[in-house]
């Protein structure tokens, strides 16, 4: 009769797991320092991975953000510096000019707009404030292609370019850098040795890495060429918008043909320029991301095996120390599977806790690293970013390590003879 009531009282598999989990937690918390030292291998492994991956991912994400903003119907073209083993030689011998841009715009019907860009780093000043920033000499076409949104004022117009006006459109960071007044339109600032009038402020973009797109000043291309000379004018980057993203490939081919003709390249000679579409760049970034992920996963694997050996070691010691306990449990009715699960769940719990600690510590380390990099390398260094897959991967690996390396000690415990276990001193 009591057997019948007992059957109704069965509380199933998960009830038993919860039970064993409680027993495991009690054993782990019973010797906190030892548990901590046992999982140190796993903690350090997960910590290293999370720190490295979150910083890399932060960089990748801001990189991706930049190129996604480019749009599927845009590409850019720059001199093929990779032709020369020495980049300085490339800078001396290669050319990509305003004429090239004009030729492309006129001869390729697929091209809707083209914005040549001249990049220069230069000093800037307003009243007593001095700083440096990136000067971008370009045309009115840049605004619509890059989808520039203005906070106040306007972007460069055709008249500014045609008349070589000394006007500028500033990125959002410049407001702070030069401590410009709230109403800054019409203010005159120094760029290099010349004075420019501010005609617009670009909305804050945020999120870019290294040098931010907010840390820029746009000036008319013609004015920039006048200020920086012909050498600078020969090293342009062309930002091209095509009419239809679906015909990107044929557009790229036609643009290449026009540029080859412009540069007098013969059949068989390599292009002295390179084109980059959003699709290509994204593919490259993703390949790089995948490769680094694979490397990281391999490192996790190795560290966790080392951590796992640590866990196995201590679990074996623990089984020996608790031989008496195992004997008592068996005497009152624990089956082999109960003892096996007890120790297996203990090692999985131990290693997963190690994983959780490692995750937290890794996140802390990456926050600290980013903070230091922002103080030293670049104030706009992108924030660390921990993708969900990293959390799942590290915790999964940690748990798996506990399971794999916990099997042997657990089996050993479950195979003990009850009498011998009870007799064990």
Partner 1 sequence: MTASGDTLIEARDLVKDYPMGESVYHALRGVSLTVRRGEFIAIMGPSGSGKSTLLHLIGCLDTPTSGEYVLAGSPVHTLAPDQLAELRNKEIGFVFQTFFLLPRANAAENVELPLIYAKIPPAQRHHMAMEALEFLGLQTHAAHRPNQLSGGQRQQIAIARALVNKPSLILADEPTGNLDSKTSENIMGLLVRLNQMGNTLILVTHEPDIAAYAPRQVRIRDGLIVSDELVGASGKGGGS
Residue numbers of the site for partner 1 (CB under 8 A)?
2-3, 6, 9-11, 15-16, 19, 26-27, 30, 324-325, 327-338, 417-419, 422
CA distance 218 to 118: 10
Nearest residue (CB) to partner 1, 100 versus 346:
346
Tell me phi and psi for residue 199, to 5 degrees: -115, -5
Give the shortest CB-348-to-partner 1 separation in angstroms. Answer: 19
Nearest residue (CB) to partner 1, 8 versus 182:
8
Looking from the CA of 302 toward its CB, the CA atoms found within 13 Å total 7
Compute the 3-state secondary structure of the chain and give helix, strand, coil in percent, each to the nearest 5: 60, 15, 20
Nearest residue (CB) to partner 1, 23 versus 52:
23
Give the shortest CB-8-to-partner 1 separation in angstroms. Answer: 10
Nearest residue (CB) to partner 1, 337 versus 368:
337
Nearest residue (CB) to partner 1, 116 versus 327:
327
Give the shortest CB-321-to-partner 1 separation in angstroms. Answer: 11
Give the shortest CB-343-to-partner 1 separation in angstroms. Answer: 15
Nearest residue (CB) to partner 1, 9 versus 128:
9
- Is residue 367 classed as helix, strand or coil in its secondary structure? helix
Structure token pair of residue 79: 């001199």
Give the shortest CB-51-to-partner 1 separation in angstroms. Answer: 36
Give the shortest CB-366-to-partner 1 separation in angstroms. Answer: 38
Give the shortest CB-20-to-partner 1 separation in angstroms. Answer: 9
* Cα→Cα distances 278→51, 149, 225, 289, Å: 29, 21, 28, 16
Q: Are the beta carbons of 395 and 83 closer than 8 angstroms?
A: no
CA distance 374 to 368: 10
Nearest residue (CB) to partner 1, 13 versus 267:
13
Task: Give which of 77, 37, 46 is closest to 350, Cα–Cα.
Answer: 37
CA distance 155 to 140: 7
CA distance 379 to 370: 9
């Amino acid at each position: 009769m009591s057997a019948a009531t007992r059957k109704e009282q069965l509380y199933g598999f998960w009830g038993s797991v919860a039970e064993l989990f409680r027993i495991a937690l009690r054993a782990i918390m019973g010797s906190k320092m030892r548990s901590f030292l046992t999982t140190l291998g796993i903690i350090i492994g997960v910590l290293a991975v999370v720190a490295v991956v979150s910083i890399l991912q932060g960089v990748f994400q801001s990189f991706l953000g930049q190129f996604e903003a480019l749009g599927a119907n845009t590409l850019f073209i720059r001199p093929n510096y990779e032709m020369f083993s020495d980049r300085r030689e490339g800078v001396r011998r290669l050319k990509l000019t305003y004429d090239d841009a004009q030729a492309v715009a006129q001869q390729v019907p697929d091209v809707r707009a083209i914005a040549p860009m001249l990049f220069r780093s230069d000093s800037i000043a307003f009243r007593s404030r001095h700083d440096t920033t990136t000067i971008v000499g370009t045309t009115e076409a840049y605004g619509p292609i890059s989808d520039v949104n203005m906070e106040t004022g306007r972007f460069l117009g055709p008249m500014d370019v045609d008349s070589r006006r000394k006007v500028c459109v500033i990125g959002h960071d410049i407001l702070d850098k030069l401590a410009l007044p709230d109403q800054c339109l019409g203010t005159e600032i120094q760029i290099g040795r010349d004075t420019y009038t501010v005609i617009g402020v670009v909305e804050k973009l945020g999120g870019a890495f290294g040098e931010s797109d907010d840390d820029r000043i746009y000036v008319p291309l013609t004015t920039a060429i006048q200020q920086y000379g012909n050498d600078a004018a020969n090293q342009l980057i062309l930002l091209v918008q095509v009419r239809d993203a679906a015909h990107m490939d044929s557009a790229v081919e036609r643009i290449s043909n026009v540029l080859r003709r412009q540069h007098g390249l013969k059949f068989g000679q390599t292009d002295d320029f390179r084109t980059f579409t959003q699709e290509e760049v994204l593919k490259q970034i993703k390949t790089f991301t995948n490769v680094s992920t694979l490397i990281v996963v391999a490192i996790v694997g190795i560290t966790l095996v080392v951590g796992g050996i640590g866990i196995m070691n201590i679990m074996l010691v623990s089984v020996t120390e608790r031989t008496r306990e195992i004997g008592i449990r068996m005497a009152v009715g624990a089956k082999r599977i109960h003892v096996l699960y007890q120790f297996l769940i203990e090692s999985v719990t131990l290693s997963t806790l190690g994983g959780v600690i490692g995750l937290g510590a890794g996140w802390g380390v990456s926050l600290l690293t980013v903070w230091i990099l922002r103080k030293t390398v670049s104030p706009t260094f992108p924030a660390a970013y921990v993708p969900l897959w990293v959390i799942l991967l590290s915790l999964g690996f940690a748990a798996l390590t506990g399971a794999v390396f916990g099997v042997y000690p657990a089996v050993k415990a479950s195979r003990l003879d009850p009498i011998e276990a009870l007799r064990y001193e």
